[in-house]
Structures are given as C-alpha cells and as structure tokens.
Amino acid sequence: MNKKQLEEKTKQTEEIIFKYLPKAEGAQKPVIEAMNYSVLAGGKRLRPMLMKEVFEMFGGTGEVIEPFMAAMEMIHTYSLVHDDLPAMDNDEYRRGKKTTWAQFDECTAILAGDGLLNFAFETALKAEKENNPYLVRALGILANKAGIYGMIGGQTADIEAEKPESDVDGEKLLFIHEHKTAALIQASMMIGAVLAGASKVDVDKIEKCAYNIGIAFQIQDDILDVTSTLEVLGKPIGSDEKNHKKTYVSIYGLERSKDDVKKLSKEAISILASFGQRNLFLEELVEQLINREK
C-alpha cells in the first residue's frame, strides 16, 4: 500500500466524521467544544476506515455507513477521554496534544466523554433516512461491543488486573485484549458487513477476523514495548516492565509472541481473501496495522 493512498483514505474518513460533529453553541457550548476538541485531536481513524472498507467489500453502496463511521469514532474517542482522566491513567498528553481534562478540566472531560457516547447513538440513528433493513441489527452490535460485554467489560478487567493482589494469567490477559481492544474493531467490521447485507455466516467470519486483528495488534504493542526505541515508537519503552504489568511477552516470551502475531495475522488475511469480492487495500491495511513498528 502506498502512503499517498492511505493518506487519501484517512482524509476522506475524517471529512465524514467531522461532518457529523455537533455545533458548539447554546448553553451546552463548553461541553460541545470539549467533545469536538477530543475528536479533532487526531488519530489513525482506523475503526471507521475498516468499517467502510468491509462495507464496500460486500457490495455496500450509499451513505448509510457514514453516520455509523462517525458514531464509531465518537465511541472510540470517548473511551480515550475517560482513559486519560486522573482517576484512570492520569495522562496529560496524547498524540503530542493536551488530553481533554488537561486542556479543559476534569468535570468537563467526564461530561465530554458522556456526551460523545450519547451523541454517537444519536448520530448512528441518522442512518434511518436511508431505509436500510439491517439498521437495528447494526445498532445492536454497536451497543453490545461498546458496553459491559465488550469494551467497558475489558476496561474493568484491566483495572482489576492492576491491583497488587490480582493474578493475571494468559487467559485473563486474552479476555482483556479481546474486550478492551478487539471489541470495537469487531463492531466496526461487523457493522460494515451487516449494513451491506452480508450473510450471517460471513458476518461471523468477519467477527473472527476482527478478533485476530485486535489480539495481534495488542500483542504487537507488547512486543514493541520490549524491542523498539523511544525514537521509533515516539513514547517511552519498557514501561510495562517498569510498572510490573503482565503482558503477552512477559507471560509467553518474545519468540512465541512474535509467532502468534504471524499466525493471527495470516489467518485474518486469509479470511478476508476468502470472500468473493476481495478488497486488496483492506488486506494491506490489516497487514500494515498488525506488523507496524510504532
């Protein structure tokens, strides 16, 4: 995949997301400004991009996908806003910019996260005008994968795992990775397939593919924390070991971790290649994402 193609796709994705942001006006202006600041702060826009690419792979057309793309980025962003709070990770910077609570204040950041989550569903419902018969099913996937049986469940397990008395093994770690990281990737790709009218069998295959992508992405994160450099990664390395945090590498070792990333990646790409209409950009995007160096 050439860099220009990825930049163009990212730009198109951002244009769709920004179109659905609320106007900062009225008595709600302070919270809306914080919501918009959080979304505009940057990022790969990976989840909405994956959603659109899967939608098109299954022959989806029209604008029904757009409100869901914006909704997904809002949900992903709200999770980061809350993650950065003093009560959670206490981070003052993300992607070189001040985090929402550091830029505004803690109360505003909490409300901005709440606002983004609620506004995400308001936005997704704007797809109603397209009369897509799979709208309710897509909303169900979004709610489930973002909630207590998805991302929030994974975040809860991650917080529990950080307690001194917790005993994290490989099974618990996979639960955290599946729910905290893979769940929103699954939601993105499944919604793309569902709204395009894909069969249940194909949607299930996409769910498995997205699971592999999410787990491999997270294991690669753990590997980079051990093998990369500050210059390449753009953030301090060795932080997991310093914080006595159990990772895939600390449990299974570096070589097995690298092998598992390869296996998961290979299986994910073979699932994508198995559909009648292949999307080569999507396959390259997944490969680049999993085998990234930062």
Write the pLDDT tens digit of every residue in 209-267.
999 999 999 999 889 888 865 454 454 444 554 455 789 999 999 999 999 999 999 99
Interval 13-50: pLDDT, tens: 999 999 999 999 999 999 999 999 999 998 899 999 99
- 163-194 pLDDT tens trace: 888 888 999 999 999 999 999 999 999 999 99
The encoded tokens of residue 192 equal: 């793309």
- Rounded Cα gap, residues 1 and 267, in angstroms: 20
Is 97 in a helix, a strand, or coil? Answer: strand
Indicate the pLDDT class of residue 136, thresholds 50, 70 and 90: very high
pLDDT band of 120, cuts 50, 70, 90 = very high
Q: What is the pLDDT of residue 233?
A: 45
pLDDT value at residue 230 = 47
Specify the residue for token string 């160096």.
Answer: 293
Handedness of CA 50, 56, 58, 62 (dihedral sign): positive
Distance of CA 34 to the CA centre of its chain: 20
What's the pLDDT tens digit per position in 83-107? 999 999 888 988 889 999 999 999 9
Q: Residue 149 contacts by C-beta under 8 Å, 6 or more apart in sequence?
A: 179
Q: Which CATH number fits domain 3-290: 3.40.50.1950, 1.10.600.10, 1.10.540.10, 3.40.630.30?
A: 1.10.600.10
The domain locations on the chain are 3-290
Which pLDDT belongs to residue 240? 53
Nearest CA-CA partner of 146 in 77, 52, 215: 77
